[in-house]
Homo-oligomer: A and B are copies of this chain.
Amino acid sequence: MNSSTHLDAALRWDGSRLAILDQTQLPHRELWLTLAGAADTADAIRRLAVRAAPLIGIAAALGPAMEVAAAPDPEPGMRLLREARPTAVNLAWAVDRVWAAARAGGADAARDEAERIEGEEGAASAAIAAHGADLLAGARRILTHCNTGALATGGAGSALGVIRELAARGEVEVLASETRPLLQGARLTVWELTRDGIPVTLAVDGAAAGLMRRGEIDAVIVGCDRVAANGDVANKVGTYAHALAARAAGIPFVVAGPTSSVDAALPSGDEIEIEERDADEVRRPGGDLVTLPDVAVRNPAFDVTPAELITAFVCERGVAQPPTAAAIAALLAR
C-alpha cells in the first residue's frame, strides 16, 4: 500500500476489453474489474468505481466501443451510459463521439474513436501539467481538493498532474482536504502522492480556510467537472468554499482540466445540473452510521465556483488568466 510504484493508469484497455481499478476499494484493496459493455460501464460510473470527469470520459468511450461489434442494438446501453451522472460534461461528449463514429463506420470506427479519445486525454494531462507548473512556479505549499491524479484522468492527472510536475521541478508539500462525503482526498490523493514520494498532509475540509488565513498555503489547485462559457466551474462539493478562502487570503486559486470539460454551450455555472447523491453517503462517513438513520440530508456532489474567484483556468491548450468568456473562447479556438 505504501509502495513507491507509480500508478500508471486507473483503467486498462487491451484493444477489445476494458478493466478498471475499483476506486471504491482504495486505499485498502487494489481490485480490478472487467466491464462487459456500456450498461456495465454506466453502473461503474454511477457507483464511483470509475470517477472524475476526464476518466469518466475515457471509460465512457472505451466501455461502449467494445459493445458496438457484439451487441445487436448498442443504443439502449449508450443512452444509459450517457445519463449515468449529470454534472461532468465529458461523459456525454465521449459517448456522442463514439456513437457518431459507430454509426458512420461501424465497430472498427467506434474503437478507433474511443482509442483516439484515450490518447488525446493522456496527452492533455502532460500538457496541463507543464502549463500549470509554469503558472505556479515558486509555489511550495499547495492545497488540493478531491482527487485529480492518475485515478482521475488518462495520465498523471489534471490538478495533481500539475502538482507532480511542480514536485519534479522543485520542493512541494501538499495539503489534501479529505473531501467529504466520499473522502477522495483521504482515500485517493493521499494514496497516490504517497506512492510518488510527494509529502502530503491531510486535513478536514473545514480546516482549509483557517490554514489559508494563517498563511500556511501558497496556492490552491483543483480539477473541474464542467466549465461554463463564462469561466464558472462546477467541481467537487467544497471547492467553492476553498475558492472564497483563497481570495480572502490573497493566494492563487487555479482550476486545471482538459478542454473536454468545457461546455461552451452553457452560458454560466448557474445552468449546470448538480447531482444530488444518496443520503447515506452523509449519514455514514467511512461506513458507520453516526447520526439518526432517517435524518433528512442534502448531498450535492458538486458546487459552482464563479469565474471571478478563479485566478486561471489551465487546459492542454494553455492558460486563461483570468478565465473570462473571451479568454476561454480563445483557448478553444487554438
Interface residues, chain A, with chain B CB atoms under 8 Å away: 1-2, 27, 175, 177-181, 183, 186-187, 190-191, 194, 199-211, 213, 237-241, 244-245, 248, 274, 282-288, 290-292, 294-300, 302-304
Chain B residue nearest in CB terms to A209: B241
Would you call A213 and B240 a contact (CB within 8 A)? yes
Given contacts A286-B286, A291-B186, A295-B194, contact A206 B203 (CB under 8 A): no
Would you call A205 and B180 a contact (CB within 8 A)? yes
Chain B contacts of A296 at CB under 8 A? 199-202
Chain B residue nearest in CB terms to A288: B286
| Separation of A177 and B238 alpha carbons in the complex (Å) | 12
Would you call A201 and B297 a contact (CB within 8 A)? yes
| Separation of A285 and B183 alpha carbons in the complex (Å) | 9
Would you call B237 and A241 a contact (CB within 8 A)? no
CB distance from A212 to the nearest CB of B (A): 9
Would you call B297 and A286 a contact (CB within 8 A)? no
CB distance from A306 to the nearest CB of B (A): 8
Would you call B295 and A190 a contact (CB within 8 A)? yes
Would you call A204 and B286 a contact (CB within 8 A)? no
Given contacts A210-B237, A298-B207, contact A187 B291 (CB under 8 A): yes
- Name A202's contact: one of B27, B179, B297 (CB within 8 Å): B297
Offer 30 A-B interface pairs, CB within 8 angstroms, sorted by A: A175-B298, A177-B206, A178-B180, A178-B291, A180-B205, A180-B206, A181-B204, A183-B291, A186-B285, A186-B290, A187-B291, A190-B291, A200-B296, A202-B283, A202-B296, A203-B298, A204-B205, A206-B239, A207-B237, A207-B238, A207-B298, A207-B299, A209-B241, A209-B303, A210-B300, A213-B304, A285-B285, A286-B286, A287-B288, A288-B288
